[in-house]
Amino acid sequence: MSGSSTGTIFKLTTFGESHGKALGGIIEGCPAGIEIDIDLIQDELNRRRPGQSELVSARNENDQVEFLSGIFEGKSSGTPIGFTINNQDHNSKDYGHLKDTYRPSHADYTYEKKYGIRDYRGGGRSSARETVCRVVAGALAKQVLEKIGIAFSTYVVQIGSEILDSEDFYSYDLIESSLVRCPDSEHSKKMETLISEVKELGDTVGGVILGHIKGVPVGLGEPVFDKLHADLGKSMLSINAVKGVEFGSGFNAAKMKGSEHNDLFDSKGRTRTNFSGGIQGGISNGMPIIFRVAFKPVATVMMEQDSINKQGHNVVIKGKGRHDACVVPRAVPIVESMAAITLLDSYLRNQTTQL
């Protein structure tokens, strides 16, 4: 049973390999009659794209989305929205050297063992290139959520050991003004410097992204297995390179006492603190949803590494071509997209709770 879908009512199913003809997807369950701004969707794709700065990439590829159905005269028609993003360099022969080699901490070995066959070109289906489809659906979801009053602030709070200690809601413009999508200029500069240094060495580094979602109505999330943070957490963990996720107080909660962790109400049902991260009992409580997502360093390093090939022989490999020393800044729109997809789905699911 395939795992290429996310969501239940608002649902995205994707296809596509890194170096196949195209990637694409089908978005089901978008409410009918919503005006859709396709340029905004393309803008989000551009945010995800490599090549936005010297820092984060070395190739400029053009990810152009084409919508094939489900939008009529500028509005969602209630029918499935099919879309594709062509791969421009899909005939590239650059990957022949990987045909028989399993790169460390990549999915080469596991795909080969699971399927008995593997599209080795650029990681095939396991490539993070697959996330373009998530960004398309997420950008659409955000347009719907905006009508309900839900807004997102997603940014980098950690690169390596450089940490921004904040969970505030920052403006989109402020976040985008930073090369590393860290809204604090001082931290942003330190992170830039760190990435440059790592890149110089041919190495890579991990980081953490924080999501702050405001305007979420009370009541989203379905007990007991589809708690809102369980669904959001799964969405985050499904993104390439993610190793952990936490909500509100997160892992820090383990150290806390109940008397300090409890979020006391004010008379309007809001809470004075937000250790819950906007979710209680798996249901949104109207406070901002706060979560953090940890990314491992990219596995492809421009350094020699021991590895093995199909025959089990030792080989030495070294990354070549473009080099992303840190993908965390580029992952910001992906994290935001997955959050938006999940929230819109939760919102629609909640519509049937009462007649």
Q: CB 75: neighbour CB atoms within 10 A?
A: 13
User: 82 exposed, middle or buried (CB, 10 Å; 0-12, 13-18, 19+)?
Assistant: middle
Shortest Å distance, C-beta 177 to a copy of itself: 23
CB-nearer residue toward a copy of itself: 26 or 175? 26
Shortest Å distance, C-beta 173 to a copy of itself: 26
CB-nearer residue toward a copy of itself: 51 or 202? 202
CB-nearer residue toward a copy of itself: 40 or 68? 68
What is the C-alpha to C-alpha distance for residues 325 and 207, in angstroms, rounded to an integer? 11
**Sole residue written with tokens 């901002």:** 288
**Sole residue written with tokens 């109940």:** 258
Shortest Å distance, C-beta 32 to a copy of itself: 4
CB-nearer residue toward a copy of itself: 172 or 309? 309
CB-nearer residue toward a copy of itself: 188 or 271? 271
The residues, any chain, with a CB within 8 Å of residue 321's CB and separated by 6 or more, are: 59, 94
**Sole residue written with tokens 């890579």:** 204
The crossing angle, in degrees rounded to 10, of helices 328-350 and 131-148 is 50
Shortest Å distance, C-beta 37 to a copy of itself: 16
The residues, any chain, with a CB within 8 Å of residue 114's CB and separated by 6 or more, are: none
Shortest Å distance, C-beta 82 to a copy of itself: 3
